[in-house]
Structure 1
């Protein structure tokens, strides 16, 4: 693979990592978003090959069998997310650095795969209560899926110590500022 670097943002769902990543992309021309692949249903505001590569379970498993993923995770039964090797290579060939927005296990797997060429940042909500409020405000969760996400978030918070940096998202403006500092320091090193 090429000579670029990878900035990894991981967090429990609803912690704000996607908003932070979008902000960094808008303000750093040297960063390009690595589009993850998933088997989940596309939301009304999402576009294939922009937000995700939306794949069928069979397509995803075929790519797995051909070793086309740098990392992947079966998050729930039949619900896969993964980072395609070709996606990382495409970005590096453009002379850019990769920024990824992945779940906690995916983030740790990418860090393991790329070592010092990767900066793994864990975005943390100020509290579980704030996380519940954010997820409820989204209006994308049923009561059952909300409980699943909150349970998963509580579990994922136990992994923050394995990340290079922890970014508490209490105030979005401050989170933007702190994320930018972390990225600048890493890319200059």
Structure 2
């Protein structure tokens, strides 16, 4: 029995090398580009229109989602959002793999979440192949302005990431972490 070759989408979501030039992946990015353009061109009075666009764009959204335009993403369909999520202006999510954001998460302006990355080997990179790794952000997380969340990172519940931080490793729950690379500077005590 022969193995059926995986699609580029399946390779992408499995964290394997894949070709972003695949027609199905291009179509998915074009869909997201159209929907984000429509969303970014809405006004504050068009809340119902905004909600319809977000329901079409994302894989899953919880209650009370608010995104201040402009917002950008690669596919949208690989993004899962919990309840009470707020994204300030200019947030970008490169969702070439699953990006899960929990409940009560605040993203300040210019937060960048990158599931996508390129091979380090230049010859492999020139082949056009890319990689992606999932990202998970827990509940009750605040990510400061201009922070960058890199591929494969998990951020624990009840954590704060300082403005301008570059998160390249997992961050545990109940901490304040800042810097480039982002490091824990304080552990939060448990509430009484």
TM over 0.5: no
Structure in which a larger fraction of residues adopt helix: 1
How would you bin the TM-score normalised by the shorter chain?
under 0.3
Structure in which a larger fraction of residues adopt strand: 2
Task: Please report the TM-score for the alignment, with normalisation by the length of structure 1.
Answer: 0.25
Highest RCO, 1 vs 2 (Cα 8 Å, sep ≥ 6): 1
